[in-house]
Structure 1
């Protein structure tokens, strides 16, 4: 289906120029049409009619004078040349070639031919003179042939070309001025968009300069207020949870001490496990909040980071896992928060190592994104739960997480939640899909 919007420019600068240029082009087309249909045609008819009338008058004078006084023809033509600026010559008893009246060279135009046919009412012919500036008009009389050398400027006007040049020149000038002004109007919007993008990726954003139109200034001011409110809210939440952590650790410590003082009691070990589970959940939640901290983004190579996580897995309880890494040649450093990104990849790889024996990581670039694919041969995640697993404290199977893995963030259902939070904080996204023939594929796309 044809849609004109598919062919329109996408950015604001080009669209604004199109809004300015389109009416200008339409106006020029209408003006040119009116000019050619009215001014040009009228002027051409008047010029051609004037020349044709002068030649017709001389012809009538020759036909009246020649039979009575042939000698008077030469002085009369001289006077006519002085009065009209047209050079005349009369050759008696000459006959023009047998051609149809009005069949002439197309270069002279229909207007001149029509005017000569209307005024002369005799056979005539047009041809080029030896001088390129002149046209020869030959007309048949009953006594011979009258030739008239007419300057082209008497018939053809250069007003059209001057008009077109002025129109095109002024249009280009106006287009240049409009381009400069529109660029200055679009620049603040582009800067505001860049600031919003940096803020969305968790990168530091300075004060947005208030410039441009009133609406753009207001948008920039409201963005600054929104950024301050969001930053203040995150800071308050982080400080509140840090205080909660401090307050909870004190009674947990007392509980630990009380459990140890119980001595040989059948409930001592279950109580110890419950306390360790509470500590584990508290640490995981604090790690989730820590992902929104004030860490600055730096150019980071993900290859050494993944190698380091692999080394940790090989030294831990997952040393028998098969770990593979593939990196395309065009993969380079990314502007990310190193510690946050390490926590994100560690959570995903820990989760994969917990359920699979083979893990394959691939780094590549596609378009404006760097893609990280983590494939495993584990049991995978059902399609209907692939969005739900990103919710905090949700676990597909509680049995998959041994209670002995204390300190593992994924054990309480926050691993993927933290990972998505970090990836989206960098302006990217994370998705889950099936791995053939078995397993799960975690795809992370980060903007370059």
Structure 2
């Protein structure tokens, strides 16, 4: 493309230069010739007054030699006298040409050896016609023509070279963005998802670069969503797995019971591996807000109805408070259900049998706060737990079988609305997870000042001070 543009520009510029330079060169040559013969006519006119006064040979000779062309031997006078024409000076024109001018009475130019001869008729006092001959050398006729032609050629060559250089720069400006775009497309095809194209060059290529970058971002987002979906679906398997594990624990002793428990443990291990693999490949990007909302109170009542049956089997006391009134939130129903299942599943997995837990819902003007509390031993290091959830990998301080994805699912649900997730100490003595869900994209009051035990005490204080619906008895 670059060389094609250079060739086109070279051809067009060359044609333009030729179209203007050739006629201009011809005009310059004609102007030089006209200038030389005009000077010759002026020189011939200087001898006219002498011819009108006398035809004496000596007088005419002195008059001819006194002129500049006569001194150089370039001026001659042909006077008709008795006995034949009188030639004064060096004659170069043919006798026939001289006689023709005398008879016609019109000036003419005759070609002679080494140049041209201007033959100018002049009237004598006797009524006869004399002919003044002025010799014009060839170099005077073409004086300055070669220099002018060289200048024209130089200007034309400069125009051609300049146009080629400009075309080459334009070609580079067009080709390089196209090459970068092609290279980026190849790298993206090789799996380098971070590849982007600088939005430079002509308008069309800038538009193509913008479209490519948008496509690459969309590909990255789609892959991230796919990995998140795989991880979320795998994590949602923990809910039925928890039920299976608890039911398997109540089977008693025997080969069948041991095989069932081993199968459940193996299945749980495979789910953990899937979650961990999906989390390791997931780019750290904040998800977009959910497009559809739901009634948080309805979802909480539904999930607590499911988990309360299992809690009754284990002798756990449960309580739901504040879920008797509607609480619309900008979170999709499956997302909120997955977040609640993740938190309640963690209660069953990481607290002793018989540990009580509660779910409270608080309403405010710009947010809905969901508190999940338990009476277990609590989380020793809330900051590490949140960090483990954000990185997607378990730490040394984490619980056995914990991938941290449960907290990360809850965190993403909260942050998609402008809220956040915090961990603290509950009034029941164990862990309290607070989910702040913004209704209008507004964040928690006071900003995010960190997580951990210190934040937990502030959350507990807010929970005791904020008015809420009367809590039902633990059952």
Instruction: Please give the TM-score of this superposition, normalised by the length of structure 1.
Output: 0.37
Which structure would you say has the larger Rg?
2
